[in-house]
Amino acid sequence: MAGGAIVNTGGGKDYPGKLTLFVLLTCIVAATGGLIFGYDIGISGGVTAMDPFLKKFFPEVFRKKQEAKTNQYCKYDNQLLQTFTSSLYLAALVASIFAATVTRVLGRKWSMLVGGLTFLVGAALNGAAQNVAMLIIGRILLGIGVGFANQSVPVYLSEMAPARLRGMLNIGFQLMITIGILAAELINYGTNKIKAGYGWRVSLALAAVPAAIITLGSLFLPDTPNSLLERGHPEEARRMLRHIRGTEDIGEEYADLVAASEEARQVQHPWRNIVKRRYRAQLTMAVMIPFFQQLTGINVIMFYAPVLFETLGFKKDASLMSSVITGLVNVFATVVSIVTVDRVGRRKLFLQGGAQMIVCQLVVGTLIAAKFGTSGTGDIARGYAAVVVVFICAYVAGFAWSWGPLGWLVPSEIFPLEIRPAGQSINVSVNMFFTFCIAQAFLTMLCHFKFGLFYFFAGWVVIMTVFIALFLPETKNVPIEEMVLVWKSHWFWKKFIADEDVHVGGNHLQMAKNGRDTKGADA
């Protein structure tokens, strides 16, 4: 396989130092930024399936739902309802662009703080909503919060972590996302039972809890040595590096950081810089990885699982319960990637997870086709429904140990310092844009594509799996400021990087070119 020729220039090399308790704690706190994102993803599907919520804000959808004999595929198809879910992601897209500047100029922690605070206000507005406008403005504020958090947290984690454990610590972010989703689903399950009909308010207002956690947490977080250096505090950076690595022996890592920050200082315009030829590989990944992550179709399940299960004829309680089950699978399967990512590497997880998703999507599509055909009417037996849920769970598991965590990890670790915040913004924006598209279009797509929707996403997963096989080098264990060597030794990307573009300590360049400083990470 072409990708197999790729060499891991780090070859498992790491700087001295261990995982200190301090780093572990800061990473746990920072990762809670993922909670706010996850809570949003998980909450909207359940809320939009609640009758009192629909009656108050979307009476037309409510009426259509009541009509017997409505085509199952189309009963929730409504633009305004989809806007409720999707407005958040557009706001996050725009916010992440501003967040890049805050993250670079003021440091990573302030972006997290801004994110937490805005989110808090959004939660309050949503919980108190009297009309659709309040709902949507609240969602926009939540979105700004998510934009800031998703821009800064993954970068923070990747910079704090020792190279050999970077995957594990970074995936703490994804783990918090999945915990946020699950918590939201459980809360919906409970609030749906509130007879007086204000359950949706409780669901929406409880978003304030994860927001308070990241807001308070960020106040206590130290900044990363990379960011301290970049902002002109070399002594503090050195002290912080010693502290987080728990050793005096930080010479080599510090030298790499200094080289990276000097390079970064010469760059006045990270946005203009990132389009330069030598960053073509990183730019491509910053666009393609989030695009593909969303085209796995995962958010069809995350946003609309309760709606989807009701479409399949499940009763209300069973629908919410089934989404809790997929939520649990999502959390536990993420743990699988935490323990494997720095050992088996990113590529193998991508390829295995992709294959699993393809199979499951084809099966689910076929099962639904056999039951509902294209007319969208029919009843589904219990056992049959259970089989559908099992395959949906296997699909979610495949995502949760591949594209889910890696979609955030890989972009956060491949950019050199000078373009890291800009690169991460592109990643977040593209991710949010396609999350928006899926949220906005899914109910309509379900109505028109019917079961074919699952085949549609399966087709995309085939394409992205081939893309990874060919174009993504293995990045496990490679120190973040030496990542350029990985691209320099990749069969395709090497032609974009001139020798003069490689600035790292030691004689790594020659070794990368010869492929000698390497252990075949994936060969």
Range in contact with ligand BGC (rule: CB under 6 A) among 12-20, 135-143, 344-352, 404-412: 404-412
Verify binding: residue 409, ligand BGC, rule CB under 6 A: no
323 forms beta bridges with none
Separation CA 217–CA 119 (nearest Å):
14
Q: Is 340 exposed, middle or buried (0-12, 13-18, 19+ CB in 10 A)?
A: middle
| Residue 128 C-beta: closest distance to ligand BGC, Å | 26
In terms of Cα–Cα distance, which of 179, 247, 244 is closest to 26?
Answer: 244
Q: 3-class SS at 325?
A: helix
In terms of Cα–Cα distance, which of 194, 149, 195, 197 is closest to 173?
Answer: 149
505 forms beta bridges with none
Verify binding: residue 241, ligand BGC, rule CB under 6 A: no
Separation CA 30–CA 9 (nearest Å):
29
| Residue 329 C-beta: closest distance to ligand BGC, Å | 10
Per-residue contact flags (x/-) with ligand BGC for residues 271 to 310, judged by CB under 6 A:
----------------------x----xx--x--------
Verify binding: residue 41, ligand BGC, rule CB under 6 A: yes
| Residue 35 C-beta: closest distance to ligand BGC, Å | 12
Which of 170, 178, 224, 282 is in the footprint of ligand BGC by CB under 6 A?
178
Verify binding: residue 484, ligand BGC, rule CB under 6 A: no
CB of 52 or CB of 180, closer to ligand BGC = 180
Separation CA 11–CA 13 (nearest Å):
5
Verify binding: residue 330, ligand BGC, rule CB under 6 A: yes
Verify binding: residue 407, ligand BGC, rule CB under 6 A: yes
8 forms beta bridges with 519
Per-residue contact flags (x/-) with ligand BGC for residues 125 to 164, judged by CB under 6 A:
----------------------------------------
Q: Is 464 exposed, middle or buried (0-12, 13-18, 19+ CB in 10 A)?
A: buried
Which of 32, 96, 174, 477 is in the footprint of ligand BGC by CB under 6 A?
174
Verify binding: residue 172, ligand BGC, rule CB under 6 A: no
CA distances from 240 to 75, 87, 108, 195, 310 (A): 56, 39, 15, 53, 52
How many residues interact with ligand BGC (rule CB under 6 A)? 15
Which of 7, 123, 142, 177 is in the footprint of ligand BGC by CB under 6 A?
177
Q: Give first-to-last CA distance, the chain, whole Å.
A: 9
Q: Which residues bind ligand BGC (CB under 6 A)?
A: 41, 174, 177-178, 181, 293, 298-299, 302, 330, 404, 407-408, 431, 435
